[in-house]
């Protein structure tokens, strides 16, 4: 069923003006918003894919000093980049960022491509990151639809949290502020982070009540939900510690701790990280094999000993 809302241009324009007025007074001061350097903005977008804003804000300046350009990043080894990525998690993003730098230097003369098809060929650049690059680097009038924009635009224009990404993207492409695409996207992200939150939206502080069609019933349901969910929730250690992702991170951390050029015997890694017998759904060797196949670490054979190091380290 087509749920596309009817969009009155005058109402959309008034809504966007109210949104931008609010944003001018309430914008978050994030370091990557203070630069127009394409490289620096793309680095931030890779970091933000699966890491919170506060952690990225602390790490991004240091990373930009260590690798100041596409060419500097491309000249580094994967091990260098993975070490510099420490604290951000999901280390595959570091490798994808390095591969993207290599592709931009080798295939695009060191210049970030603007063409959407070319952006999609870059490692780690999916639909959202490509749209974010178009909006934040080039100022193209496109909505960068992530979970935040999907929630805000879904509530404002569809009245609920059930709009699909496709529905929101179609509406977003029609309501994006053509005069200030980057600021419009950032304004919606900031509204999502501070007011239009997932379970307890602060509708009384929203700058868009005149136009938002999010029903009172949904607001009531949202405000009740956290109490119910809190009783059901488990601590983060229950779901993360002992998981495959946790063990992957620990393997990378152990290999980060050795100097460039050194290796760690896999037997040492097993002794350090192998879960107690009977408690593991998978072992160190399983995780090592996956990390090797992904190009994050290398298997080295020396003197009949199998050892490991970060890729290129």
Q: Is the per-residue pLDDT at 177 higher than 70?
A: yes
Q: What pLDDT, on a 0 to 100 scale, did the predictor assign at position 244?
A: 84
Looking at the domain assignment, is residue 220 inside a domain?
A: no
Would you state the structure tokens that stand for residue 200, as one six-digit string? 């307890």
Looking at residue 154, its pLDDT comes to: 95
Give the CATH number, domain containing residue 258. 1.10.10.10
Same-domain check for residues 136 and 20: yes
Nearest residue to 165 via CA among 184, 196, 144, 182: 144
CATH number at residue 129: 1.10.340.30
CB atoms within 10 A of CB 187: 23
Question: Is the residue at 227 inside a domain?
Answer: no
Whole-angstrom distance, CA of residue 199 vs CA of residue 204: 14
Contact predicate 35/182, CB 8 Å: no
Query: Can you give the pLDDT at residue 280?
Result: 52
Domain finish residue from 205, 229, 260: 205
Give the whole-number percent of the chain exceeding pLDDT 70.
88
Does residue 214 or residue 40 have the better pLDDT? 40
Share of residues in the chain with pLDDT > 90 (%):
75
Judgement on whether residues 124 and 173 belong to the same structural domain of the protein = yes
Q: Judge whether 250 and 280 are in contact, CB under 8 Å.
A: no
26's tokens: 């309430």
Establish if 225 belongs to a structural domain.
no
Handedness of CA 36, 48, 80, 125 (dihedral sign): negative
Q: How far is CA 9 from the centre of its chain?
A: 32
pLDDT at 231 over 50: no
Q: What is the largest CA-CA distance in the chain?
A: 75
The pLDDT of residue 305 is 86
| Of residues 1 and 102, more confidently modeled | 102
Query: In terms of residues, how long is the chain?
Result: 313
Catalytic residues: 45
Averaged pLDDT score across all residues of the chain: 89
User: Which of 179, 205, 231 is the endpoint of a domain?
Assistant: 205
Residues 48 and 129 in one domain: yes
| Per-residue pLDDT at 100 | 99
148 and 245 part of one domain? no
Q: Is residue 137 part of a domain?
A: yes
Q: Which of 66, 88, 65, 87 is nearest to 77 (CA)?
A: 66
pLDDT digits (tens, 9 = 90+) for 58-88: 999 999 999 999 999 999 999 999 999 999 9
Same domain for 196 and 246: no
Residue 248 forms part of a structural domain: yes
Q: What is the pLDDT of residues 109-132, one digit of tens each?
A: 999 999 999 999 999 999 999 999
Q: Are residues 26 and 133 in the same domain?
A: yes
Q: Which domain holds residue 291?
A: 240-310
Collapsing DSSP to helix, strand or coil, 297 comes out as: strand
Check residue 304 and give its pLDDT: 80
From the list 159, 214, 156, the residue with the least C-alpha distance to 11 is 156
Tokens matching residue 123: 């490692």
List, for residues 181-229, the tens digit of each pLDDT value.
999 999 999 999 999 999 889 999 999 999 998 865 455 544 444 433 3
> Are 245 and 171 within one domain?
no
pLDDT at 309 over 70: yes
263 shares a domain with 184? no
Higher pLDDT, 222 or 146: 146
**What does the pLDDT average to over 260-265?**
90
Phi, psi at 307, each rounded to 5°:
-135, 170
Relative orientation angle of helices 244-256 and 266-273, to the nearest 10 degrees: 130
Alpha-helix residue ranges (DSSP H) falling in the chain? 9-26, 38-48, 53-66, 70-75, 78-84, 92-107, 116-120, 127-136, 147-153, 165-175, 181-194, 216-232, 236-240, 244-256, 266-273, 284-294
Q: Is 299 helix (H, G, I), strand (E, B) or coil?
A: strand
Quick check: is 233 in a domain?
A: no
In a shared domain, residues 36 and 165: yes
Tens of pLDDT, residues 8-23:
999 999 999 999 999 9
262 and 159: one domain? no
Is the pLDDT confidence value at 236 over 90? no
Last residue of a domain, one of 205, 230, 251: 205
Rounded to the nearest 5 degrees, what angle is found at the Cα of 239, between the Cα atoms of 238 and 245? Answer: 130
Domain total of the chain = 2
Q: Examine the domain organization and report whether 16 and 120 are in the same domain.
A: yes
Domain identity same for 73 and 191: yes
Summarize the confidence of residues 141-160 as an average pLDDT: 95
Position 142 scores a pLDDT of: 97
């Amino acid at each position: 069923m087509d749920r596309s809302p009817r969009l009155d241009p005058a109402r959309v324009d008034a809504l966007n003006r109210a949104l931008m007025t609010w944003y001018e007074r309430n914008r978050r001061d994030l370091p990557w918003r203070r630069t127009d350097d394409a490289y620096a903005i793309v680095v931030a977008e890779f970091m933000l894919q699966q890491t919170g804003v506060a952690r990225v804000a602390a790490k991004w300046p240091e990373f930009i000093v260590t690798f100041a350009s596409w060419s500097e990043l491309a000249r580094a080894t994967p091990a260098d980049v993975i070490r510099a990525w420490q604290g951000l998690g999901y280390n595959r993003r570091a490798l994808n960022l390095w591969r993207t730098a290599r592709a931009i230097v080798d295939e695009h003369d060191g210049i970030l491509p603007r063409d959407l098809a070319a952006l999609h060929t870059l490692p780690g650049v999916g639909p959202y990151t490509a749209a974010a690059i178009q909006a934040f680097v080039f100022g193209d009038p496109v909505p960068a639809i992530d979970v935040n924009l999907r929630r805000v635009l879904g509530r404002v224009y569809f009245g609920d949290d059930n709009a699909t990404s496709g529905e929101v993207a179609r509406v977003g492409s029609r309501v994006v502020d053509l005069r200030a695409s980057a600021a419009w996207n950032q304004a919606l992200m900031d509204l999502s982070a501070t007011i239009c939150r997932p379970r307890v939206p602060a509708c009384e502080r929203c700058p868009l009540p005149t136009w938002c069609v999010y029903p009172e019933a949904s607001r009531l349901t949202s405000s009740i939900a956290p109490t119910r969910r809190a009783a059901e929730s488990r601590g983060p250690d229950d779901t993360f510690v002992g998981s495959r992702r946790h063990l992957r991170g620990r393997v990378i951390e152990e290999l980060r701790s050795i100097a460039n050029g050194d290796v760690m015997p896999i037997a040492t890694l097993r002794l350090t990280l192998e879960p107690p017998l009977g408690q593991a759904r998978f072992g160190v060797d399983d995780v090592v094999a996956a990390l090797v196949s992904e190009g994050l670490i290398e298997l080295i054979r020396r003197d009949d000993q199998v050892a490991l190091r970060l890729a290129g380290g």
